[in-house]
A = this chain, B = another copy of it.
Amino acid sequence: MNKQLLFVKRPVGEAGADTWNLVSNPIPEPKDGEILIKQHYISLDPAMRGWMNDARSYIEPMAIGSVMRAGSVGEVIQSNNHPKFKVGDFVSGSGGVQQYVTTDGKGYYPVDPKLAPLPTYIGTLGMPGMTAYFGILEVGKIKEGDVVLVSGAAGAVGSIVGQIAKIKGCTVVGIAGGPDKCKYIKNELGFDGSIDYKNENVRDRLKELCPKGIDVYFDNVGGEILDIALSRLRMHARIVICGAISQYNNKMAIKGPSNYLSLLVNRATMQGMVVFDWAKRYGEGAQQMGMWMAQGKLKSKEDVYEGIENFPQTYNRLFSGEKMGKLVLKVIED
Contact = CB atoms under 8 A, between A and B. Distances in A.
Given A269-B269, A270-B270, A271-B269, A242 B264 contact: yes
Given A265-B57, A270-B269, A272-B268, A259 B256 contact: yes
A244 to B, nearest CB: 6
In the assembly, how many copies of this chain are there? 2
A104 interface: no
A264 B260 contact: no
Contact of A271 (B244, B268, B277): B268
A125 B146 CA distance: 37
Contacts of A253: 258
B277 A272 contact: no
A227 B244 CA distance: 17
Contacts of A270: 260, 263, 269-271
Contacts of A268: 271-272
A191 to B, nearest CB: 24
Contacts of A261: 222, 241, 244, 247, 254, 272
A106 interface: no
A256 B260 contact: yes
A87 interface: no
A265 B257 CA distance: 17
B254 A255 contact: no
Given A58-B266, A260-B270, A268-B271, 14 more contacts: A57-B265, A58-B264, A241-B260, A241-B261, A241-B264, A242-B264, A247-B261, A255-B256, A257-B260, A262-B272, A263-B271, A264-B273, A267-B277, A268-B272
Interface of A: 56-58, 222, 227, 241-244, 247, 253-274, 277
23 contacts: A56-B265, A58-B264, A58-B266, A227-B256, A241-B261, A241-B264, A244-B264, A253-B258, A255-B258, A256-B256, A256-B258, A256-B259, A257-B257, A257-B260, A262-B272, A265-B272, A266-B272, A267-B273, A267-B277, A269-B269, A269-B270, A269-B271, A270-B271
